[in-house]
Chain A
Amino acid sequence: MGSDIFFANSVAQDLNNVFDNIQNIERQMATGVAVNQPSDNPAAWGEAQILAVDQSALSNDGTLAGNALNRLEAAGSALQQASQALDQAISVATEGSNGTLSATDTSSLATTAQGLLAQIVNAANFQYDGVSEFAGTASGTPAYNSSGDYQGNSGSNAVTFSDGTSVTLAFDGTQAFGDAASNTGAMGALSALVAALNSGSPSTVAGTLPQLQSALTLLSNFTAAVGGSQQLLQSVQTQASATNTQLQSSESTLVDANLAADATALSLAQLQQEALTSLASSIGKSSLVNVLA
């Protein structure tokens, strides 16, 4: 047999607890999130923190890989132009090595070869967002001068993604185009061709053909390597997107509210609140007091 005052305090406390519970459920239903702070579910919170950081890194990787891909695609176009120019140079050399050409024709071919050299220099000086793509890390200056002499350095720069995957974005131009000064690659071969045509010696011109073929092979191999890098970037982009989706799903499983369960719990809590309110209103109405009255 207890006193009314205790009963009243007890009901008030129960009402407070039910009210807190209702507020908590309503917050979960409104936000759709069950874990809003560490104490809601420490283990889930901790896992969600890791997943959120991973998502952030992957999202950044995806965007960065997309940008890098655009950059390498543009660089690939420049390489393609250079490759076409080199093909034409081989044709010019083949024609120039024919001993039946007049001096005028040979001179015209020399002019054409000089133009092709300019095209390759132009392609090798390709810049993306103001950055020379083939000047090594000396990216603020053109990679080649008009003679085909390399002005960059032997460095390179790569982007490194959050999982450690690294893809080169800025290259040592000599690895693709060679250097006229050291008579290597496309630049060396084109310079030699121009000089041979200017000399008017078909045999000298013919002697540049192997060098031109070798330069084309060097450029093709380099272009293929850049193509491989593009594929790698696409893979990074695709993987980042797919993994991010998985992580979002995992995080959602961890922290999202179960709306169906919440709705049931809310209904029950509201019923409890109603019952307790009704009970509170009856406190103090002692039956015997009423009878005696």
Chain B
Amino acid sequence: MSGDIISIAQTGVDAAQEALATISSNIANASDANYSTESVNLAPLVGAAGASDGVQVTGIQAARLPFINSQINEAQSQESYNTSYAQLAQIGESFLSAQSGQDLGATIQNVFNAFTNLSASPEDMSVRQSVLSAAQSFAQQSQTIDNGLAQTESNALAGLPSVIGQVNDLAGQMAQLNTRIQSAEAAGGPASSGAPALVDERNATALQLANLVGASTDSNGNVTIGGMPLVSGSQAFALELSVSGTGATLQIKLPQGDLALQNSQAGGQVGGTIAAVSAISQAMAQVNDLVDGVANAINQKQQTGYGLDGSTGNPLFVIPSGGGPIQVSSSLTLDQIAAAQTAAGVPGDGSNAAAIAGLQNSNGLDAQFPDSTAAQAWSQLSATFGAQVQNATQQQSQAQDLLQSLQQLQSSVSGVSLNQQLTMLLQYQNALEASGRAISVGLNLTQFLLTNLP
């Protein structure tokens, strides 16, 4: 031992103070979920003779599990993806599941029922009015569903640019943090560098990027989306969103050119939103196909039949050429509803109305469902969409549970335990007092020697 008691005890005081400062910081950050508990690394101070000459702080270490961090990011991405998907799909689902008796399947059946009644009373104007009313309800329901789903899509897509803006802001922050962390690590030094806090901030940023767009971040702070670079070291690349019609695509602007992302490569909130919009768009197309298929089949028979006024060739529905929600022909009069199959059968022949009503038992009115009646097609279509919503909700719940478990695991390592910190507070307080006592003893001894030595 080459040092004197006072200087050696002084290293103990310094180390204890550093440790107490670290504990103080831990307690102060106890409410920050992104904060990782820090601790001082102590090592003997080796003197010239190779013996211990006190203690020194060699560094500040944050308790982290890098593997768990990446797992948490992945789970967060999944949870956000499924939450966004489920929320949007549930809104879309609400338009498919109107009040009992008012949904699309019911309104289609009401049209067939009205034609059944017309077959029995082809001359009855009140029955003809019922046919027209049922047709209008069917058309109105198709428009309500189409408008509702289109509005859901539109609202979802309208919210994406601001999310993409957040992603780009975070990517920029990530690049800056990478630069600062590299500088801090190059400068060295325990507490003064601030590197542990910067790494915590970088981890928090990575988690937000995972949440928003399903980005993966490696231990060096490089960020990718579906394997495509968003942040490389100190450089961040812009993520851009293109919205066209009812779809959205993503691309990353790299120096060498734009890099298009497949929608399946995006995760998190953005990926879930784009996927939900796609699913809603598909459901909307399926609903319109069914509506158009039924309306077209009715029109075909209506146009070959004869109305009370002897007219023929009059469609009941107006079907958009490119598909979509239908309307009842505004020029069609009650007399022109073609109940009769032949001109000679007017007014008492209801066989054409019966033939239209018989379409309720015909398969393939909707070409997507060649072996199903309209009611069965509607049942399958709506149930399939419901299964997608249910699946997303279940996956959301599972991802939430996984995320919670991983966060619990991380918290057990990285989280600040106040009990543990208070215990260590007492420990280092005692160490500080003991070192102070040693200094006091050293000073007394020096005083004694000065007083008693001749």
Binding site for B on A (CB under 8 A): 1-7, 9-10, 13, 36-40, 42-43, 45-47, 49-50, 52-54, 56-57, 60-61, 64, 67-68, 129-132, 135-140, 153, 155, 157-162, 164, 166, 169-170, 286-289, 292
Contact = CB atoms under 8 A, between A and B. Distances in A.
B422 A157 contact: no
Given A10-B408, A38-B387, A56-B110, A61 B354 contact: no
A49 B422 contact: no
A169 B118 CA distance: 12
A6 B408 contact: yes
Given A46-B380, A47-B379, A49-B378, A164 B386 contact: no
Given A3-B411, A10-B404, A139-B347, A53 B106 contact: yes
Contacts of B400: 13
A139 B348 contact: yes
A140 B116 contact: no
A35 to B, nearest CB: 9
B117 A60 contact: yes
Contacts of A50: 375-376, 379
Contacts of B422: 286, 288-289, 292
A162 B407 CA distance: 59
B261 interface: no
B386 A39 contact: yes
B83 to A, nearest CB: 12
A56 B109 contact: yes
A160 B122 CA distance: 12
Given A131-B121, A288-B422, 16 more contacts: A1-B420, A2-B411, A3-B33, A13-B400, A37-B93, A39-B89, A42-B384, A49-B105, A53-B375, A56-B113, A57-B116, A137-B340, A155-B348, A159-B119, A164-B358, A288-B419
B105 A158 contact: no
A153 B384 CA distance: 52
B361 A46 contact: no
B351 interface: yes
Given A137-B347, A157-B351, A160-B354, A39 B32 contact: no
A286 B423 CA distance: 12
B351 to A, nearest CB: 7
A13 B375 contact: no
Contacts of A42: 383-384, 386-387, 390
A71 to B, nearest CB: 8
Contacts, number: 195
A177 B303 CA distance: 36
Given A43-B383, A49-B383, A56-B110, A157 B348 contact: yes
B385 A38 contact: yes
Contact of A68 (B33, B120, B347, B384): B120
30 contacts: A3-B30, A4-B418, A5-B30, A5-B31, A6-B33, A6-B415, A10-B407, A10-B408, A36-B97, A37-B93, A38-B96, A38-B383, A39-B390, A45-B97, A46-B383, A52-B106, A56-B106, A57-B112, A64-B116, A131-B348, A140-B347, A157-B119, A158-B350, A159-B116, A159-B354, A160-B119, A160-B354, A160-B357, A162-B357, A288-B419
Task: Please indicate which of the listed interface residues A47, A50, A53 has the most CB atoms of chain B within 10 Å of its own CB.
Answer: A53
A2 B412 contact: yes
Nearest to A59: B113
Nearest to B114: A60
How extensive is the interface on chain B, given as a class?
35 or more
Contact of B415 (A5, A39, A135, A286): A5
B123 interface: yes
B360 interface: yes
Given A13-B404, A292-B422, A160 B386 contact: no
Given A38-B97, A288-B422, A4 B387 contact: no
A5 B420 CA distance: 15
A57 B345 contact: no
A54 B379 CA distance: 12
B314 to A, nearest CB: 20
B119 A49 contact: no
A135 B123 CA distance: 14
B246 interface: no
B423 A288 contact: yes
B100 interface: yes
Contacts of A57: 109, 112-113, 116, 360
Nearest to A255: B100
A164 B116 CA distance: 10
Interface in B370-407: 375-376, 378-380, 382-387, 389-390, 393, 400, 404, 407
A287 B360 CA distance: 71
B119 A158 contact: yes
Contacts of B120: 64, 67-68, 157, 159, 169
B346 interface: yes
B435 interface: no
B348 A138 contact: yes
- In this complex, which of B103, B116, B117, B389 has the most chain A Cβ atoms within 10 angstroms of its Cβ? B116
A139 B123 contact: yes
Contacts of B358: 160, 164
B25 interface: no
Contacts of A136: 348
A70 B411 CA distance: 79
Contacts of B350: 157-159
Given A5-B32, A288-B422, A155 B116 contact: no
A137 B380 contact: no
B287 interface: no
A49 B404 contact: no
B371 to A, nearest CB: 14
B20 interface: no
Max chain A CB contacts within 10 Å: which of B361, B376, B379, B382?
B379
A6 B407 contact: yes
B146 interface: no
B105 A131 contact: no
B222 interface: no
Contacts of B376: 50
A7 B408 CA distance: 8
